[in-house]
Amino acid sequence: MPVEIMRDRGFAHAEATAGGVPLHEIVPGTMQSRIHDKLWLVGEILDVDGRIGGFNFQWAWSTGAVAGLAIARDLRPPRS
């Protein structure tokens, strides 16, 4: 049954945002920007939104872990 949305409850009650940095601008294995060097983007700043129930948390934590490991590798001094 189609349900027409009449209104939302406003920003004060919002729990997740739609929109953000497009995923094609991100290297998925590192979460690093393809546009700006040394910039990693994770979580809700990216154009991903899920249903309430843990998907947004999972996205934030998973991309944070991927980026954190990639940044640690990037900071590691080269082996001599």
Ligand X SMILES: Cc1cc2nc3c(=O)[nH]c(=O)nc-3n(C[C@H](O)[C@H](O)[C@H](O)COP(=O)(O)OP(=O)(O)OC[C@H]3O[C@@H](n4cnc5c(N)ncnc54)[C@H](O)[C@@H]3O)c2cc1C
**14 or 35: CB nearest ligand X:** 14
Pick 22 or 77: Cβ nearer ligand X: 22
Q: Which is nearer to ligand X, 32 or 56 (CB)?
A: 56
Both structure tokens of 45: 């700043």
Residue with the closest Cβ to ligand X?
Answer: 43
Q: How far is the CB of 28 from ligand X (least distance, A)?
A: 16
